[in-house]
Structure 1
Amino acid sequence: MTSALTNAQRTSPHDRTPGRPATRRKPKWGTHLFLSVMAVIWLIPLLWSVFTALRPKASTDEYGYFSFGGSFDFQNFIDAWSQGGMLKYLVNSAVITIPTVLITLFLASMMAFAVSRVSWKFNLTLLIMFTAGNLLPPQVLAAPLFEIFKHIELPYSISSSGSLLNTTLAVIAVNTAFQIGFCTFVLSNYMKALSTDLTEAALVDGAGIWRQYWSIILPLCRPALAALATLEVIFIYNDYFWPLLLIQSGDLLPITAGINNLQGQFLANYNLIAAGAIITVLPTLLIYLVLQRQFVAGLTLGSSKG
């Protein structure tokens, strides 16, 4: 009797099928092995960059990059921070990234609400147009956008070039335009999974469209917004193409383009460049660690509602 109770306690009711004996779930060793190998392959470049950044150039010149000889210190990080002007470029990256993420999520959330929670004949058409915009390579529009921005005049108090070129506004506008489609697609799918009873009850109580969006739907989308904010910060912060194309002044470049200052004219110190690259990665890594719980919650909740 005791052994029967023990076996019954060990077997979960969810693991039983009526008319069949209880079976124990087999461990997925193949999946775990594959994921472990892929994680190691993914981490090798990052770990090798950290290893190279911790070695003085004299040690790598004497023993080679594929060796463990010589000393290890943090001098390359100190030199990269001071010689490369990392603080100034980090501020430039923040000036571009923060407004872009906020504007993109705000506009995408309103568009997602319009195509997912409001019944009108153009909602599906607009959603397809926004989604199709992500299929166009940004490089195709590089030359037309450059010419358009060059002919948009601005006061010299705002732009040193007298146009939209060589301003952070140009980079913010381009990144917002290219990211808003992806965010609209994700948020619209998330909003469609929310119960329609919420907005119907609010409509009965006299709430208008803006009230439904701002007070009911948007607060429920916080996990999805946090997940998208994490992704968008990584995308925009790591962008190299548009700042390099639209900004000619070195004082306005973000850190991804400003890291070129660590490369000498005739000789490249790869240990110093590796240290600068590690410093560049730290802000996005910190943001991901801070928003990790919200990021995972946004992904899992978006897939389980229905």
Structure 2
Amino acid sequence: MFPQPIEKSGRFTNISYRAALPISIVMWLLPLIAVMMTSIRSMEDINKGNYWGWPSDIQFVENYTQVFTATPMSQYLLNSLIITLPAVAGAVALSTLAGFALAKYNFKANIWIFAMFIAGNFVPFQILMIPVRDLTITFGLYDTHWALIFFHVAFQAGFCTLFMRNFIVGIPDALIEAARVEGVSEMKIFWHVVLPLVRPALAALSVLVFTFIWNDYFWALVLVQSDEVRPVTAGLSALKGQWLASWQFISAGAVVAAIPPVVLFFTMQRHFIAGLTLGATKG
């Protein structure tokens, strides 16, 4: 019924696993290695077609310095932070409140509201492009940070509410009832009882949502157009000129853009894993 540990499998399965694992890892890392190698190449090296070999002239400092001095990369990174941090905070806060209400309050429309949150996760986001763009223009939010912040808070609310509701539902009702008997208000119950118990889930959700929003490319193209607002994902495509593409700068910018999510993950790794495995075992 349950998957058998690889150590207890047959000889053929063990050999196949040990052979396939390093091959899969290398294939997965190959594009990342190519980008990192390109980020330290010279333009002459790229023009010669040396895409996979060792760079003939390593220009690590020059390329990464040039990305920040010759392009608006600093502004793009700042824009991504301005958009991502409030959007993550808003989405996680609203979804935790909604998840608490759906998990611990019994009312007639409970299951239907929860079903709407679930159904929203299956809507292809591309079909929202024109209505969302028209709304931002109508309310004067087009080409502003707020357009992306409001959209990401609204769009991520479905997944985040589903995520938090499933964690909060596992909190024993006896804890909440005991607090109510003592006369504690619902808001204090939420703040002092529920939140401390779901802290690992909040950390895991924050890391996931931060990665989703930081790496968003589609809505960054649809809702903004100026360098003063453009986040780093859309900014990387803007580094490609009309006649010439400086791939070493684009690759260096891609590496720089990947650093914040990676740092956040390793910083929150302990809480992230604890959040994902919360409730996986009993006892």
Give the TM-score normalised by the residue count of structure 2.
0.90
Aligned-partner Cα distance in 1 for 2:18–2:170: 31
2:41 paired with 1:64: no
Instruction: Return 5+ residue gaps in structure 1 as ranges.
Output: 1-24, 153-162
Q: Percent identity?
A: 37
* Greater mean alpha carbon deviation, residues 59-68 or residues 175-184: 59-68
Deviations 1:235-275 (A, max 9, x none): 00111111221113221111111123421220112122111
Instruction: Return 5+ residue gaps in structure 2 as ranges.
Output: 1-6
Q: Which residue of 1 aligns with 2:100?
A: 113
Q: Which residue of 2 aligns with 1:7?
A: none
Q: Which residue of 2 aligns with 1:26?
A: 8
Q: Which residue of 1 aligns with 2:131?
A: 144
Describe how 1:83-162 pairs up with structure 2 within 5 A: 83-152=70-139
Aligned-partner Cα distance in 1 for 2:160–2:171: 17
Aligned-partner Cα distance in 2 for 1:150–1:73: 44
Aligned-partner Cα distance in 2 for 1:229–1:185: 14
Q: What code does the residue aligned with 2:219 have? A: W
Pick the aligned partner of 2:24 from 38, 46, 57.
Answer: 38
Aligned-partner Cα distance in 2 for 1:179–1:38: 31
Q: Say whether the 8 Å CA contact 1:84–1:258 is kept in structure 2.
A: no
2:80 paired with 1:80: no
2:28 paired with 1:51: no
Describe how 1:206-217 pairs up with structure 2 within 5 A: 206-217=183-194
2:177 paired with 1:200: yes
Aligned-partner Cα distance in 1 for 2:183–2:144: 45
Q: Say whether the 8 Å CA contact 1:150–1:165 is kept in structure 2.
A: yes
Q: Say whether the 8 Å CA contact 2:99–2:168 is kept in structure 1.
A: yes
Pick the aligned partner of 2:160 from 160, 180, 183.
Answer: 183
1:135 aligns to what SS in structure 2? Answer: coil
Aligned-partner Cα distance in 2 for 1:36–1:180: 38
Aligned-partner Cα distance in 1 for 2:19–2:281: 27
Deviations 1:10-58 (A, max 9, x none): xxxxxxxxxxxxxxx6378355554444333221111111111111121
Aligned-partner Cα distance in 2 for 1:116–1:192: 5
* Greater mean alpha carbon deviation, residues 136-145 or residues 107-116: 136-145
Aligned-partner Cα distance in 2 for 1:65–1:144: 42
Pick the aligned partner of 2:216 from 239, 244, 247.
Answer: 239
Q: Say whether the 8 Å CA contact 2:41–2:55 is kept in structure 1.
A: no
Q: CA deviation at 1:181?
A: 0.6
Q: Which residue of 1 aligns with 2:4?
A: none
Q: What code does the residue aligned with 1:150 have? A: I
| Count of aligned positions | 272
Aligned-partner Cα distance in 2 for 1:51–1:305: 47
Give the TM-score normalised by the residue count of structure 1.
0.83
Relative to structure 1, the CA distance from residue 183 to residue 304 in structure 2 (aligned partners, 3 Å threshold; closer, same or farther) is farther
Aligned-partner Cα distance in 2 for 1:69–1:111: 53
Larger radius of gyration: 1
Q: What code does the residue aligned with 2:195 have? A: L
CA-atom RMSD in angstroms: 1.9
